[in-house]
Amino acid sequence: MTPPHALLAVRDLRVLIGGRHILHGVDLDVAPHGVTALLGRNGAGKTTTVRGVLGLVPRAGSVRLDGEETVALPTHALVRRGIGYAPEDRGIFAGLTVAENLRLAERPGAGTPSYALVHELFPELKQRARQVAGTLSGGQQQMVAIGRTLLNSNRLIIADEPTKGLAPRVVTEVAQVLERAAEAVPVLLVEQNLAVVRRLATHCVVLADGRTAHQGPAGGLLDDAEATRGLLGVGQGPLAPHTAEADS
């Protein structure tokens, strides 16, 4: 079952990298409200799907944003249509300051950037504005990455494993921010931490071997221990071992 009037509708997404098929035809719908979780075991193709949607890797198929076909658009043009992206490795510019990292995400001519919201959610970013981003802890870098997605009036936020490698306290903080963000903007969340998924997700899509294995309301899958085990390889807790960094 797919959400009605999907904001993002991906059909038959195929990605070929170095002569190797990574995605074999992913179908994916992002609900117009709430959090849609993109799940799957390690190597299932979650990050490649996100990168394929954004055009960061060569792709084929169909990617419709609010009904508009975007598969032929270059990445920057698609993003400027209203997508905030926090990548798996955080995508921080280590040599730039926190303020410069945020300033880079501003979109001239697309409204006033919401620094007040970003600083309200992450007061630390205001205090550390002049600090070089490469010297931040993992959690602080994640705040910058998510802060950049909140700076503009986006139609969709894509967060790829935003809690990966973070200390439990920071995981909770990030989850709270995403929960609040999802009240205003739909979120496509790639996440390995099942506790975070249970807390946030309204819909979920499960990938296996570069294909869509399941799609539907989150409750339907996550409340069914057998289905969860079958599709994700786990019952409760995180999908994969986490290594917490020394986050402050």
Residue span 166-205 as binding mask against another protein, x where in contact by CB under 8 A, dash where not:
----------------------------------------
The verdict on 103 binding another protein (CB under 8 A) reads yes
Q: Is residue 218 exposed (0-12), middle (13-18) or buried (19+ Cβ within 10 Å)?
A: buried
96 touches another protein (CB under 8 A): yes
With CB under 8 A as the contact rule, the residue among 19, 95, 109, 241 that binds another protein is 95
Distance CA 17, CA 39 (A): 21
Report if residue 19 touches another protein, rule: CB under 8 A: no
Q: Nearer Cβ to another protein, position 66 or 100?
A: 100
Helices (H), the chain: 46-54, 75-79, 98-105, 115-121, 123-127, 138-150, 168-184, 194-200, 218-222, 225-232
CB of 133 to another protein, least distance (A): 10
What minimum distance in Å lies between the beta carbon of 120 and another protein?
22
Cβ count within 10 A of residue 56: 15
Nearest CA-CA partner of 167 in 199, 203, 141: 141
Binding mask of the shown chain, residues 54 to 93, with x at each position contacting another protein by CB under 8 A: x-x-----------------xxxx-xx----x-x---x-x
Please state, in angstroms and rounded to a whole number, the distance separating the CA atoms of residues 208 and 168.
28
Give the H/E segment covering residue 30.
strand 20-30
Interface with another protein (CB under 8 A), residue total 22
What gap in Å lies between CA 201 and CA 187, rounded to an integer?
9
In this complex, which beta carbon is closest to another protein, that of residue 3 or of residue 162?
162
Least Å distance, CB 7 to another protein, is 18
Give the pair of three-digit tokens for residue 10.
């991906």
Single out the residue of 104, 180, 184, 209 in contact with another protein (rule: CB under 8 A): 104
Number of other residues whose CB lies within 10 A of the CB of residue 48: 21
The number of beta carbons lying within 10 Å of the beta carbon of residue 61 is 17
User: What residues from 135 to 164 belong to the interface with another protein (CB under 8 A)?
Assistant: 148
Instruction: Pick the closer one to another protein by CB: 148 or 203.
Output: 148
Mark 106-135 with x for binding to another protein (rule: CB under 8 A) and - for no binding: -xx---------------------------
How far apart are alpha carbons 108 and 45 in whole angstroms?
Answer: 34
Query: With respect to another protein, which residue has the nearer C-beta, 78 or 121?
Result: 78
Q: Which is nearer to another protein, 77 or 184 (CB)?
A: 77
Residues that bind another protein (CB under 8 A): 54, 56, 74-77, 79-80, 85, 87, 91, 93-96, 100, 103-105, 107-108, 148
